[in-house]
Structures are given as structure tokens and as C-alpha cells.
Amino acid sequence: MRDEPIDAFYSGFIEHNHFQIVEVQEAKKAILKVRLTEETRNPYGYAHGGLIFSLGDTAMGFIARSTGKKAVTQNCTINYLKPSTGLILTAEAEMIKNGKKICYLRCNFYNEQKELTATMEGNYFYVD
């Protein structure tokens, strides 16, 4: 992604789910947001867990890709701490360790009141 515009990666799944890229700092951090709508909520009116996971995976993936290497998710773990409600959900991801073949990242999710609603961590494998 170093030499490629970030817009080149804003398509398909990311565009379909209306993820908004707020910030990506090369190999450091990424912030993404999503507007919660009827289509993104579970039957109880909270943000769907799959949407939350996808937002975090995408935010961490942007950081891994910003190293200039192609990266795929190796594994991720998410902890849902409280229901994500309101209109906007924000994912703030950061690079913890960047190795030769694998990087380790962490992501926190916040509602509009800046309350922590979920945490996620994962390893991404560099395929090149």
C-alpha cells in the first residue's frame, strides 16, 4: 500500500459495508468508522457481531498492508464487552509487533460516547 493510493483498497466488501477510513498511518495505526443502520444491527438493535469483527479485521488489515507487503488474516480473537449502540461505531487499531512474516495487531471499538465496547487482536501473515 506504500506506493498505492488507499482508494485502491476501498472497494468490494469495504465499500459494500460503508466502512469509512478516517486515518491510516504507515505500519502504526488505523481508524475506521461505520454508521449503524437497520441493516447492520442484530435482532436486538445492537451492532451485529459480524460487522464489528469485519470492521476490526479491516482496520488491522489496512495497517498490515501499509507496510508495503501483502497480508492475510492468520487468526483473530474478539471480546465483546458491551452492546454497541448509537449511530457510529469506531475501530482504532494499532501495530504491536511487525516481524518478517507475521505481524501482531490490536483493535479497540468505541461507541459515540467513547465507551469501549469490544477489543480484538490478531496475527496477519505476509504472503510475499
Domains (ranges, CATH) in the chain?
6-126 (3.10.129.10)
pLDDT band at 7 (very low <50, low <70, confident <90, very high): low
Lowest mean pLDDT among 2-11, 18-27, 43-52, 66-75: 2-11
State residue 110's pLDDT score. 98
6-10, 33-37, 75-79: least confidently modelled range: 6-10
Question: Cα(79)–Cα(123) distance, rounded to whole angstroms?
Answer: 16
Residue pLDDT, tens place only, 53-94: 999 999 999 999 999 999 999 999 999 999 999 999 999 999
User: Is the pLDDT reported for residue 1 higher than 80?
Assistant: no
pLDDT higher than 90, residue 28 = yes
Q: Return left, alpha or beta for 95; rule: phi > 0 is left, psi -120 to 50 is alpha, else beta.
A: beta
Confidence of residue 13 (pLDDT cuts 50, 70, 90): confident
All three cell numbers of 101, joined, read: 512474516
Cβ atoms of 59 and 30 closer than 8 Å? yes
Q: What is the pLDDT of residue 9?
A: 56
Q: Return the percentage of the chain with pLDDT > 90, whole number.
A: 85
